[in-house]
Amino acid sequence: MAQGRNIEIEVAAADVLAFDADVLVLKHAQESLGVDAVAKERLGLDLDMDLGPGDHLILDGRPAIGAEKVVILGVPPLHKFGYSQIRLFARRAMSLVGAELPRARHIALTLHGAGYGLDEIACFDAELTGLLDAFDLKTPPTFLERVVIVEADGRRAERLQRHLGKRRILGEMVTELAATPPADRDHAFVAMPFAKRFEDVFHYGIERSVHAAGLLCERIDKGAFTGDILSRMKQKIRSASVVVADLTDANPNVYLEVGFAWAAEVPTVLVHHCDSELKFDVQGQRCLSYESIMELEESLTMELKELLT
C-alpha cells in the first residue's frame, strides 16, 4: 500500500501485452526492442517513430493490446537509460496518466533496465521509488487503485515479489529504499555464460554475494544490445570496483572480458564449477571452485569481503 493512498503496488507474472488494465505504459528508447517493439507492431506504429525524450503518445490499446489505453513515453537511448532515468520514467508515467487519463484505476508497467545489463534489484527499486515520488507529489490519477509491474519471466517475477515483500512493514511501503542513489553506487561487473542453466548461478550464487559486499551487480548479455557492444563492455569493466568471472564451460566471451579486466588492472575474482576444466592461460591464477550454488555464494562472499575491505 502506498503511503497516504489506498494504492496497491504489485508484481505479476504474465504477458504484459495481454494483461487487463486501464493503462499500459511503455517506453520508446529511440529504437524498438523487446516488448516495446511487439506492442508497436500490434498497434501499427513505425518502429523508428520520432518520439524524443520528454515526448509521449496515447493510443487505444484494444483489441490489439489487453489494456484499454497505451501510453508510450520517449526516453533517452538505452546506453543512457540508467537508474536515475528509470526512476524519472516511473514518476513521469504516473504524473502523465494522472493528467491525461485521470479516471484510470489500474496501471500496468514493465520492469526496465534489468534485461540490458543493469542490476535487477536496483532497477526495481528505482522504478518503485519513481512511483512513490509521484504518490508524494499527489500526481497519479484521482481514482487510481492498483499499479502492477508485469514480468513475463516467472522466475524474475518471483524474485521481485520477494523483494517487494521485504519493502513492506505492517502493510505500508518502505520509502527509504537506499541511502545512496543507485547511479552513485559502485558496481561489480559479472562475466559469465548466459545459458539458461546459469540463471540460478548468477542470481543466487553471484548476485547475492555482490549485494552483500554493498555493490550493484551488472553484466552484459550480448543479445540485449545494439550498437558497439565491445565499447560498452569496456566502459562497464573500467568503471567496476571488481570483476567476477565464471569460467565454467570456457566461454570465449568470458575469457575476452577477463583479459580486458586484467589489462585495465581491475581486481578480478575467478570462479568455476568443479567439473569444468580451466584453460591453460588461467591455470596459474587463483580460481574459486564450487560444486553447489550455496558453496559459491559462501566462498565468493568471503572473497569479496577480503578483497574490498
| Tens of pLDDT, residues 79-114 | 889 999 999 999 999 999 999 999 999 999 999 988
Q: Which of 173, 208, 240 is the last residue of a domain?
A: 173
In a domain, 42, yes or no: yes
Residues 225 and 80 grouped into a single domain = no
Tens of pLDDT, residue by residue over 248-293, are: 998 898 999 999 999 999 999 999 999 988 886 777 788 999 999 9
Mean pLDDT in residue range 40-49: 93
pLDDT digits (tens, 9 = 90+) for 143-191: 999 999 999 999 999 999 999 987 764 345 444 444 455 555 689 999 9
Which amino acid is present at 5? Answer: R
pLDDT at position 181 is: 53
Are 101 and 158 part of one and the same domain? Answer: yes
150 CB burial (10 A radius; 0-12, 13-18, 19+): buried
Whether residue 25 is contained in a domain is answered as yes
Comparing 187 with 4, the larger pLDDT belongs to 187
**Peptide bond between residue 63 and the one before it cis (omega within 30 degrees of 0):** yes
- Is residue 21 domain-shared with residue 111, that is, in the same domain? yes
Residues forming a β-bridge with 11: 149
Query: Three cell numbers at 267?
Result: 581486481
Determine the average pLDDT of the residues in 205-225. Answer: 84
Tens digits of per-residue pLDDT, 11-27? Answer: 999 999 999 999 999 99
- Residue 136 in any domain: the answer is yes
Same domain, 22 and 154: yes
Are 286 and 202 members of one domain?
yes
Using the 3D structure, point to which of 143, 173, 203 is the last residue of a domain.
Answer: 173
State the angle between helix axes of 229-238 and 252-263 in degrees (0 to 180), rounded to the nearest 10: 50
Same domain, 192 and 78: no
Same domain, residue pair 12 and 98 = yes
**Structural domain containing residue 19:** 8-173
Whether residue 89 sits in one domain with residue 237: no
Q: How far is CA 59 from the centre of its chain?
A: 26
Residue 177 exposed, middle or buried by CB count within 10 Å (0-12, 13-18, 19+): middle
Coil, helix or strand at residue 11? strand
Specify whether 156 is located in the same domain as 204.
no
User: In DSSP terms, which residues pair with 147 in a beta bridge?
Assistant: 9, 107
Whether residue 178 is contained in a domain is answered as no
Domain total in the chain: 2
The domain spanning residue 67 has which CATH number? 3.40.220.10
Count how many residues are written for the chain.
309
Boundary-marking domain end, from 121, 147, 173: 173
Do 242 and 257 touch, CB atoms closer than 8 A? no
Nearest CA-CA partner of 145 in 41, 282, 6, 277: 6
Q: What is the DSSP string of 238-270?
A: HT-SEEEEE-GGG-HHHHHHHHHHHHTT--EEE
Q: Which of helix, strand or coil describes residue 147?
A: strand
152 and 12 assigned to the same domain: yes
Same domain, 139 and 209: no
CATH number, domain with residue 205: 3.40.50.450
CB 24 within 8 A of CB 70: yes
Domain annotation covers residue 299: yes
Predicted confidence (pLDDT) at residue 126 exceeds the cutoff of 70: yes
Which of 1-5, 128-132, 246-250, 289-293 is predicted with the least confidence, judged by mean pLDDT?
1-5
Of the chain, the percentage scoring pLDDT greater than 90 comes to 71
Is residue 57 within 8 A of residue 106, CB to CB? The reply is no
The residues, any chain, with a CB within 8 Å of residue 78's CB and separated by 6 or more, are 29, 31, 33, 116, 225, 226
pTM of the predicted model, to two decimals? 0.86
Q: Is 145 helix (H, G, I), strand (E, B) or coil?
A: coil
73 within domain boundaries: yes
Residue 180 placed within a domain: no
Both 161 and 202 in one domain: the answer is no
